[in-house]
Amino acid sequence: MRWRKFNGETINLPIYQAVEAAIKRETAAGYKLKVCIGTDSQVKGRETEFATVVVFLREGHGGFMFIHNDKTLLQYSIKERMLVEVARSIEIAYELCNLFTLYDVDMEVHADINTNPHFKSNDALKEAMGYILGMGFAFKAKPEAFASSSCANRVVN
């Protein structure tokens, strides 16, 4: 998996090592961190592009993120696509969760799913919430799910 920073700089370390280095650097600088993980997608013609982000929030001092983009030709219903987004976020959260425990960093998984039943993405809300909470992670949906609905949304091409 290729990851990059928001400025386009490629992250050459495996994501686990890059996240650990970031946590060490930021905590050494005196910042209290929180990490939010989210994925968004867009369908363009026959392709679906996904963007997964690991957002680092420095309490009271802004933040930064690591980004992974990926495309597929698989076709999804809206509900399936929402659940694939959640699965991608959970995959990264699960890979990194030991770091967050080790360094006492709060972590949330954000789902780009609307809590308003008038939106089609709401069809996936119960399953997504159960999936995320069942894995033992904190869960946020729209409008609180900024990692997926704002951060990932901006970097999905």
Show Cβ contacts of residue 17 under 8 Å, excluding neighbours closer than 6 positions. none
Q: State the Cα–Cα distance between residues 109 and 104, nearest whole angstrom.
A: 16
Are the C-beta atoms of 52 and 89 separated by less than 8 Å? yes
Phi, psi of 137 (to 5 degrees): -105, 150
Q: How far is CA 125 from CA 62, 77, 93, 105, 133, in A?
A: 29, 14, 19, 26, 12
How does residue 122 score in pLDDT terms, banded at 50, 70 and 90?
confident
DSSP 60-123: TS-EEEEEEEEEE-----HHHHHHHHHHHHHHHHHHHHHHHHHTT-EEEEEEEEESSTTSGGGG
Q: Which pTM does this prediction carry?
A: 0.94
Asked whether the predicted pLDDT for residue 35 surpasses 90, the reply is yes
Q: State the Cα–Cα distance between residues 42 and 103, nearest whole angstrom.
A: 34
- Mean pLDDT for the stretch of residues 114-138: 90
Asked whether the predicted pLDDT for residue 49 surpasses 90, the reply is yes
Q: State the Cα–Cα distance between residues 72 and 32, nearest whole angstrom.
A: 37
Report the amino acid identity of residue 69: N
Q: How much is the mean pLDDT over the chain?
A: 94
Question: Tens digit of pLDDT for each residue in 63-111?
Answer: 999 999 999 999 999 999 999 999 999 999 999 999 999 999 999 999 9
Q: State the Cα–Cα distance between residues 102 and 24, nearest whole angstrom.
A: 11
Using a 10 angstrom Cβ sphere, with 0-12 exposed, 13-18 middle and 19 or more buried, the burial of residue 78 is middle
Integer-rounded Cα Rg, in Å, for the chain is: 15
Whether a cis peptide bond, with omega within 30° of 0, leads into 117 is no
Query: Residue 31: what pLDDT?
Result: 96
